A and B are shown apart, each in its own frame.
Chain A
Amino acid sequence: MNFEEQLLMELKNEIAHRADRRRRLTRRLSIGGAAALVAASAAVAVPLLTGTESPAYAVTKKADGTVRVQINEFENADRLERDLAAAGVRADITYLRAGQECKPGRGKTSGRTAMGPGSDAAARIVKGGLDIDPRKIGPNQTLVMEFAGNKDGSRLSETGKASWVLTATMITGKVSPCVVAR
């Protein structure tokens, strides 16, 4: 088989894989007992506590090798990236205002599952935070996470919980900067 045929086969696999990923992520997820709204094909909304005195975020290394991230405020994405890198997680973090999203196509997507409920996912949403497994991020790969929410902390529900919407992708090689759509 010449390389053109080989490539065509791989690309068709990629199309099937993407279709499968869209199906899986569009399914409703229930996180931490709260019913979560699926806002976009690859986005999951989870409750976020606001109005507390807690720091903007917390990064903790756990004994099982995963890294726990708790985000309280959308502040200092660059420092969070550095703290994650120090914990062995190569991540690209973007904070967006509510309803915003980055234009798709920020890099070459890989076959790995970036986010989801399954154990194959690099990032899992657990109790309003993220558990990230650095071993599921390959060499030369970056876990790209785009958080959209309300930075001003305006309350979305009567329980006083604001929410964020996370879109996660695993990108191989270079990650281009987020260009806000619309």
Chain B
Amino acid sequence: MRRKQAKIATDPVAFEAFYRRHVDAVTRFLARRVDDPHTVADLVAEVFMAVLDSAHTYRAELGPEIAWLYGVARKTISAERRRAYKQLQLTDRVGGRRPLATDDVTRLEERIDAERHARKLLEAMTELPEGERAVLELVVIDQLTVTEAALALGIRQSAAKVRLHRARQTLRNVPFAMSGASG
């Protein structure tokens, strides 16, 4: 039956603290991958809704909240991409968007602009196999350690190391691929 609800999903005070700790990081994570302010805002909302649904999957002993949260954000983005593809024709997508004030749009555009370098790097990785790219992304672009990237992806640390190594082999002529934490 239903597992015990995690505190951040049931306690508004605990949730607010969690949200304030991470909302900026999540917004930047999304701005590195999506270049439309409205979509970024919608995705921030969806990531935190997903947090309420899957808070019970977080295990503090395995690593920091942010690694788990990036894992949630990755799943949200890939769900969004599948949906965007499917519902290209449906106009009600636009109607379902979060209302944004002009200030919000400006701030989000600045965020997106600040992350343009990261988006370029991500483009350079598109040729890599999905599993390898995922690890390289989290380590080089999102600055997680290999251990944290493994947690975000729900894979073993050894598997993450192998994938990272392979990805770097493939991209050995691209300078950025060698940066990022190695631990």
Which residues of A are at the interface with B, using a C-beta cutoff of 8 A?
A: 2-4, 6-8, 10-12, 14-16, 18-19, 39-42, 101, 104-105, 108-109, 139-140, 172-174, 176
Which residues of B are at the interface with A, using a C-beta cutoff of 8 A?
A: 1-2, 9-12, 15-16, 19-20, 23, 27, 41, 44-46, 48-50, 52-54, 79, 82-83, 86, 92, 96, 98, 100-101, 103-104, 107
Given contacts A105-B53, A105-B54, A173-B83, contact A3 B15 (CB under 8 A): no
Q: Which residues of A contact B19 (CB under 8 A)?
A: 8, 11
Q: With the chains together, A16 CA to B11 CA distance in Å?
A: 9
Q: With the chains together, A19 CA to B52 CA distance in Å?
A: 12
Q: With the chains together, A104 CA to B49 CA distance in Å?
A: 13
Of A15, A39, A40, the residue contacting B15 (CB under 8 A) is A15
Tell me whether A18 and B52 are in contact (CB under 8 A): yes
Q: With the chains together, A105 CA to B96 CA distance in Å?
A: 20
Residue of A nearest to B19 (CB): A8
**Closest chain B CB from A180 CB (angstroms):** 14
Q: Which residues of B contact A7 (CB under 8 A)?
A: 44-45, 48, 98
Q: Which residues of B contact A101 (CB under 8 A)?
A: 1
**Closest chain B CB from A111 CB (angstroms):** 12
Tell me whether A40 and B1 are in contact (CB under 8 A): yes
Q: With the chains together, A40 CA to B2 CA distance in Å?
A: 7
Tell me whether A19 and B103 are in contact (CB under 8 A): no
Tell me whether A15 and B101 are in contact (CB under 8 A): no
Apart from A14-B52, A41-B1, list 6 A-B contacts with CB within 8 A: A2-B101, A11-B19, A12-B16, A15-B15, A40-B2, A174-B86
Interface of B is mostly: helix
**Closest chain A CB from B104 CB (angstroms):** 4
Given contacts A2-B107, A3-B104, A173-B96, contact A108 B1 (CB under 8 A): no
Residue of A nearest to B56 (CB): A104
Which 4 pairs between the two chains have the least Cβ-Cβ distance? A105-B53, A3-B104, A40-B1, A12-B12
Q: Which residues of B contact A16 (CB under 8 A)?
A: 12
Q: With the chains together, A104 CA to B51 CA distance in Å?
A: 12
**Closest chain A CB from B20 CB (angstroms):** 8
Tell me whether A15 and B96 are in contact (CB under 8 A): no
Q: Which residues of A contact B54 (CB under 8 A)?
A: 105
Residue of A nearest to B98 (CB): A3
Q: Which residues of B contact A18 (CB under 8 A)?
A: 9-10, 52
Tell me whether A3 and B52 are in contact (CB under 8 A): no
Tell me whether A11 and B15 are in contact (CB under 8 A): yes
Q: With the chains together, A140 CA to B100 CA distance in Å?
A: 21
Tell me whether A108 and B96 are in contact (CB under 8 A): no
Given contacts A108-B46, A174-B79, contact A11 B52 (CB under 8 A): yes
21 contacting pairs across A/B (C-beta < 8 A): A3-B100, A4-B23, A4-B44, A6-B98, A7-B44, A11-B15, A11-B49, A11-B52, A12-B16, A15-B9, A15-B10, A15-B52, A18-B52, A40-B1, A42-B2, A101-B1, A109-B53, A173-B83, A174-B83, A174-B86, A176-B79
Given contacts A2-B104, A3-B98, A39-B1, contact A139 B92 (CB under 8 A): yes
Q: Which residues of B contact A8 (CB under 8 A)?
A: 16, 19-20, 23
Residue of A nearest to B57 (CB): A105
Q: With the chains together, A64 CA to B16 CA distance in Å?
A: 44
Tell me whether A2 and B52 are in contact (CB under 8 A): no
**Closest chain A CB from B106 CB (angstroms):** 11
Q: With the chains together, A12 CA to B49 CA distance in Å?
A: 10
